[in-house]
Amino acid sequence: MQSTPRTSHASAKALAAACAVALLALASPAMAKKSDRNEVVHVDAKTFDGSQQPQGIVIYTNNVVITQGTLKITGAKATVYLNDDNSVKRAVIDGKPATVQQQDEQGNWMHGRANNIDYNNETSVAILTGNAHVDQPNKGTSDGDKLTYNTNDSTMTGESNGASTVHMTFQPKNQQGAAPAADKKKP
């Protein structure tokens, strides 16, 4: 069955929910807020088109915003690839930038952006490509041409091409009760 703007509201909601659930794993390197998976999924875009058949492809375009609990993913275009059972196999979000943000269990936010975010639901790997940046306040930042997250074990790899490098910044651990360092300016 071909889905068009006239597709039933229930079918569109079910597909949108599947897309957002698959994308939820993008934020789990900060151990994403578990309760978000139980929240209602909202997908907003100017257009929606695709096939809800096995091995189908569903495309959202123009100002795509996917939210579920604290999770928010944005981009110019989201392409969702389905398996034989219509479950989400892979989701690709394009933008300049495509963004993802989510709160973790401790209330800290993770923010990521790249030209392209490719999430494989079967391997639980998210690949941020093109001007990739991840910021975890109070933890640090990562920048590179390509950042790859394994959302099962929260591991990350990075790489850059040409003369550019991968850059990481680590925040110091705050010492309980430690006084701030004195300013040692010479008179």
What does the longest C-alpha to C-alpha distance in the chain come to? 78
How does pLDDT run along the chain (187 residues), one tens digit per residue?
Answer: 334 444 444 444 434 433 433 343 333 344 567 777 677 667 789 999 987 778 889 899 999 987 778 888 899 999 988 889 877 788 899 998 999 888 877 788 888 899 999 988 778 788 999 999 988 887 789 999 999 877 666 677 999 998 889 888 888 877 554 444 444 444 4
Neighbouring C-beta atoms of residue 131, cutoff 10 Å = 14
d(CA 3, CA 99): 26
Residues across the chain = 187
Q: 2-170 sits in which CATH class?
A: mainly beta
> CA of 94: how far to CAs of 50, 117, 162, in Å?
17, 7, 23
pTM for this prediction: 0.69
